[in-house]
Structure 1
């Protein structure tokens, strides 16, 4: 007997988690510094977690500090074929029990996890984020702590919002809607750059009653493992989320071929997502139902400046938008269109700003810029910089240096391109590289159209202008160029519940993480009509002769 059947329980209305500033001498800074020292002093072992059991395979990957790549933080076990199949079977067999819990009971687990993150484990997960992914203290705080807390609290509130949405009824008839979880398992594939995204992708479907197979990025296993342990402490039943680090190709091949695949929740590269979608299409006849495919992928995000813009605001937005977390955000400012009349002032402002930027390990809180995630990223990004250095129609005007002897450090780099379709102006780089194109003031409208047509992506973008008609024209011309559009602000930093995040075109399915629309993807509604007194005569009035 479920004792809660006689209660209409209300989810507390959430607010965004306050961001600590970690100013010198503050208590939170002192505690975090101790957590950093403790985490750096040990090497942990990260197992798979399947059905609540920790499993070791002996096939190990390494977690190192990107800013000190000889420093080993952890060894993690990689899933093989047997473990992936075990995770799938466990998720499928657990679902009936998980969805039988009242939705409020499921939500209580995630609300508790949010409070554990906010209080008991805030500094541990921030320290893990700083050390394992080379984030400065602010970037770790707004991601690994605040945004992940927000996802948990807002998502359970959105779940209640969905369940409350019910159809109208007519006299003698009661209509209602059941929001069932999907049949099968959800495959969550998470990226390296945000612990919050890594935590949201498996938990959003789980809140709605689904069971999940979670494959974190091999370059971000440390904080997802910490979060998995927090979920266990919060009371998540065994088998609801199954944690299987490993080769993306190996894990993906098995999961995408399984007939129980019910959904994919993905954040990562456009190429990988397109390949996954193609694989689903090739296997479509095998599945027990059509899988839901939700993805947030690449971006070539822009800042477009009108001649009426405030130069200091533009400079600040470009530096923060392009270089925070080394440009390793899918929303990072990667291309800028600057009017010729403002370019001399903007360039001087960027040069002055660059002189103030320092780069180094995140344990030194004075640094804005830290290391990129790994050697593969370092190699890919520096190839773009070298290409620009060797082309006649482009010039590296700021930065351009790099060094991987201790950590994977790349200077904030600004390229001035003569061609608006220059390689670094149109291709995703995912690093601290901003390319600027200077346009004639009189060609504002034509250049807006050029911005729209230059890349296949449509994730984030910004317009800077004082004149409202210029903003209005940009909103019109760039309507389909960005799923998140910013007016007089940098194109990064979306907040759960305030700016639901996602883009279209080659940037994803635009299912808006941080809103109820994402959670709708993880349910299969059933309409129920109950007639209280059913008719007993099949004939209708029109059939009568008189």
Structure 2
């Protein structure tokens, strides 16, 4: 079992690129910067290990998955502390310890999900079965907002289905990716999980390689489009979870106080740095002020600060780039005359990338803070008088990862949800994912599904055997 110090020592390198805590600026450690040749060598090792891994029975691979879950659990506190220091998220609340716990859940559930051979036709004349075979080597490209849990979403189903994996953590959270994969590799045979560390050019190398059968990518729509273009040469399989700008629609029959906590965490989980967070909220005239006031009252109770302080539940933005995006969009909203209910006043000279919890009311629906993904702790609240118009505004953007409807009448909420163009629409919550429930985007928020049986099938080659 590792402590934070021994885990850090196992993954850091002398003379490597410096990694700093986004809350304090302190140096945490140093990480390697791999080359294109390093990527090619990692791919070769994964390719060489894949036949023996695929030759194991499903039960044997499931056994490895359960040992991985045990290993993550045994090292959970060390992983959570490293994650908090590098990513910035607090230990408590739905943050670092929560994320490491999610790694365990998203390991045990795919391991325990049966995927039997499917008999698709058996009518006395024709007999056909559907099997799911390994693809080969999967390239897993992971973002910086949930760097451990999203890596597990990519790695574990791929391994379960007999593939090997070359994993590339984000350059912003390389330590977190290295630490998690180090723990996995205390269990796995050599070559089954390889890790490469560096910038986006290494991800491009994975995409371009003819030896990579599939890419799993979570990140921006812009990068996703580049991956699609680069993969066309060898018709590489893709699962893409891309940018979102999720809309929440409040109906006029809710109790504003009752939904305030759900709205807050839907928007501000991980300090707003979540692809499927609530990023624009549409509220009817009749209860607009009540909803805004109740949400502000709840938000005011949520402490923000350094992640290792046990009382905090909100942390800094992970990097300066993202701080500048949020700052620019909020300033645009302020300049347009929108009302700042709380926040919107960062200390730009302070240490750490802290942006205060910000609520912006009475904002033009066409303002940049509404139409662009802020990916941070700033929520625009748009007033509406006609429900059809609210649905139209929710659907008018090119993205469609998630959405939500808030109502005391579930049937009415379901009817509205059916009209929202998103891969997942939640009722009276937002972003509450489940390892048994398929998850994926609509429109330019990507394609392919993760989680559950659908997620296992997505990292396998369907094969029909007929006769």
TM-score (norm 1): 0.80
Q: Is it true that 1:111 corresponds to 2:66 in the alignment?
A: yes
Tell me if structure 1 keeps the 8 A contact 2:140–2:216. yes
Alpha carbons of 1:216 and 1:345: their partners in 2 closer, same or farther (altered >3 Å)? same
**Residue 414 of structure 1, aligned match among 355, 359, 364:** 359
Tell me if structure 2 keeps the 8 A contact 1:40–1:131. no
Moved more, 265-274 or 459-468: 459-468
1:335 is matched with 280
2:345 is matched with 401
Q: Is it true that 1:279 corresponds to 2:230 in the alignment?
A: yes
1:411 Cα deviation after fit: 0.3
Q: Is it true that 1:505 corresponds to 2:458 in the alignment?
A: no
Tell me if structure 1 keeps the 8 A contact 2:23–2:353. yes
**Residue 525 of structure 1, aligned match among 454, 462, 467:** 462
Rounded to whole Å, the distance in 1 between the matches of 2:264 and 2:202 is 38
Query: Gapped runs of 5+ residues in structure 1?
Result: 1-30, 48-55, 531-546
Query: Gapped runs of 5+ residues in structure 2?
Result: none
Tell me if structure 2 keeps the 8 A contact 1:370–1:409. yes
Q: What's the secondary structure of 1:265's corresponding residue?
A: strand
Rounded to whole Å, the distance in 2 between the matches of 1:117 and 1:471 is 39
Tell me if structure 2 keeps the 8 A contact 1:46–1:77. no
**Residue 311 of structure 2, aligned match among 360, 363, 366:** 366
1:469 Cα deviation after fit: 5.6
**Residue 297 of structure 2, aligned match among 346, 352, 356:** 352
1:406 Cα deviation after fit: 1.6
Alpha carbons of 1:334 and 1:170: their partners in 2 closer, same or farther (altered >3 Å)? closer
Q: What's the secondary structure of 1:341's corresponding residue?
A: helix
Alpha carbons of 1:312 and 1:90: their partners in 2 closer, same or farther (altered >3 Å)? same
Q: What's the secondary structure of 1:342's corresponding residue?
A: helix
Tell me if structure 2 keeps the 8 A contact 1:417–1:425. no
1:488 is matched with 428
Rounded to whole Å, the distance in 2 between the matches of 1:477 and 1:347 is 25
Alpha carbons of 1:178 and 1:462: their partners in 2 closer, same or farther (altered >3 Å)? closer
Rounded to whole Å, the distance in 2 between the matches of 1:132 and 1:101 is 36
Rounded to whole Å, the distance in 2 between the matches of 1:296 and 1:66 is 25
Alpha carbons of 1:367 and 1:397: their partners in 2 closer, same or farther (altered >3 Å)? same
2:150 is matched with 197
RMSD: 2.4
1:504 Cα deviation after fit: 1.2
1:53 is matched with none
Q: Is it true that 1:243 corresponds to 2:195 in the alignment?
A: yes
Alpha carbons of 1:391 and 1:153: their partners in 2 closer, same or farther (altered >3 Å)? same
Tell me if structure 1 keeps the 8 A contact 2:292–2:361. no
**Residue 18 of structure 2, aligned match among 35, 48, 62:** 62
Q: Is it true that 1:307 corresponds to 2:252 in the alignment?
A: yes
Rounded to whole Å, the distance in 1 between the matches of 2:313 and 2:173 is 21
Moved more, 200-209 or 332-341: 200-209
**Residue 181 of structure 1, aligned match among 134, 148, 168:** 134
Tell me if structure 2 keeps the 8 A contact 1:198–1:224. yes
- After superposition, the C-alpha distances for 1:328-384 in whole angstroms (9 at most, x for unaligned) are 011111101111111121222233224323221122222222111011111121111
2:371 is matched with 426
1:517 Cα deviation after fit: 0.7
Alpha carbons of 1:341 and 1:291: their partners in 2 closer, same or farther (altered >3 Å)? same
Tell me if structure 2 keeps the 8 A contact 1:111–1:152. yes
Alpha carbons of 1:347 and 1:255: their partners in 2 closer, same or farther (altered >3 Å)? closer
Tell me if structure 1 keeps the 8 A contact 2:7–2:179. no
Q: What's the secondary structure of 1:410's corresponding residue?
A: coil
1:300 Cα deviation after fit: 0.7
Rounded to whole Å, the distance in 1 between the matches of 2:215 and 2:64 is 23
| Number of residue pairs the alignment of both structures matches | 464
**Residue 466 of structure 1, aligned match among 405, 408, 411:** 408
Alpha carbons of 1:296 and 1:42: their partners in 2 closer, same or farther (altered >3 Å)? closer
1:435 Cα deviation after fit: 0.4
1:526 Cα deviation after fit: 3.0
1:520 Cα deviation after fit: 0.7
Which protein is bigger by CA-based radius of gyration?
1
